[in-house]
Amino acid sequence: MSLRIGTRGSALALAQTNRVVGMLADRGIEAELVTIATEGDTATGVPLHAIGGQGVFVRALDDAILRGEIDAAVHSMKDIPAARPAGLTCCAVLERDSPADFLAHECPLDAVSVIGSSSTRRRAQLLRDAPALEVKQLRGNVDTRIRKLREGQYDAIVLAEAGLERLGLTLPGEALPTDRFVPSPNQGTIAVVCRDDPAVAGAFAAFDHAPTRLDVEIERAVMEEVGGGCFTPQGIYCRDGNLIAEVLALDGSRWERIERRVATVGEAREWGRALRVQAAGLIREAYAALGIKP
């Protein structure tokens, strides 16, 4: 069997895809890597929420699978939106890497006053922790973000620790605790999406890590019930059934939060609905402030 595996062209996306290609090779399966440009990679001068959120990184690859140009695609699972096209399946969820955010800074921590991040969640959580901070927009791939840090455009930047580890990068700074800086749903997880064909899906079945899949499915169930996508600052993290989920005001001044032990996706949906009711006002505020129709 020979498979065509689609990927974005960023260094991180290529590193993740090459990991999967290597795992296939270990099982005697040949794979060709196909690089596909996405709107999220080319439109770097605007905030993510203005071009459709994290889903812009996935849409072009979904379309390529459905057109038959590639057999599967490798994604950072946190980029995959809740609504998925018919004809696709998530055939493998790899064992999770670090879910944490990483605060990279070259000056002393107490001298940090300007932080770069394109995420509404990270901005809200940083401001909740330290309201005097200035959080400025930061887009681009990991190399671009690090270059801007080193040029002094920011005192610090926030990146996913898993991305740094996958790229083999060591930066000065520290991982942020996941109980205070609750990660995005599925952060630190690599997923493989393919066309809904048992022959193709079966090639990846051995890579599926059941405990990680359950945790991320719980996170996605809460995310789907809460709604708001990347437009509303929200962190949702589950480890071994221990769930933390929160929705924040854009400026981090207020938040609603639940911490529960969750055993099933059904229970997760119940708690997601409860959080949506608690946070309804914050969600409406975020949509209004960003000029987005619910």
Amino acid letter for position 61:
L
Q: Which pLDDT score is estimated for 46?
A: 45
Q: What is the DSSP letter of 181?
A: S
What integer pLDDT is reported at residue 166 of this predicted model? Answer: 95
Give dist(CA 189, CA 212) in Å, integer: 8
Catalytic residue at 79? yes
Instruction: Note the pLDDT tens digit of each residue in 43-81.
Output: 445 444 443 445 677 999 999 999 999 999 999 999 888
Q: Which tens digits make up the pLDDT trace of 93-125?
A: 999 999 999 999 999 999 999 999 989 999 999
Catalytic residue among 71, 79, 97, 101: 79
Prediction pTM value: 0.89
* Amino acid (one-letter) located at 165: E
Rounded CA separation 45/140 (Å): 9
CA atoms within 13 A on the CB side of 208: 17
Across the range 161-174, mean pLDDT stands at 96
Chain length of the chain? 294
pLDDT attached to residue 52: 47
Residue 52 tokens, joined = 């459709």
Structure tokens at 95: 């064992």
Q: What pLDDT is attached to residue 294?
A: 65
Over residues 143-168, mean pLDDT: 95
The yes-or-no verdict on residue 230 having pLDDT over 90 is no
Contact in structure between 181 and 117 (CB atoms under 8 Å): no
DSSP 82: S
Question: Looking at residue 50, what is its pLDDT?
Answer: 45
Lowest average pLDDT, out of 227-231, 238-242, 287-291, goes to 227-231
Q: Say if residues 223 and 236 touch (Cβ distance below 8 Å).
A: yes
In the chain, DSSP assigns E strands to 2-7, 30-35, 72-76, 88-93, 101-105, 114-116, 134-136, 156-160, 173-175, 190-195, 234-239, 242-248, 255-261
What is the average pLDDT score of the chain? Answer: 91
Is the pLDDT at 231 greater than 80, yes or no? no
CA-based nearest residue to 201, from 69, 65, 102, 82: 65
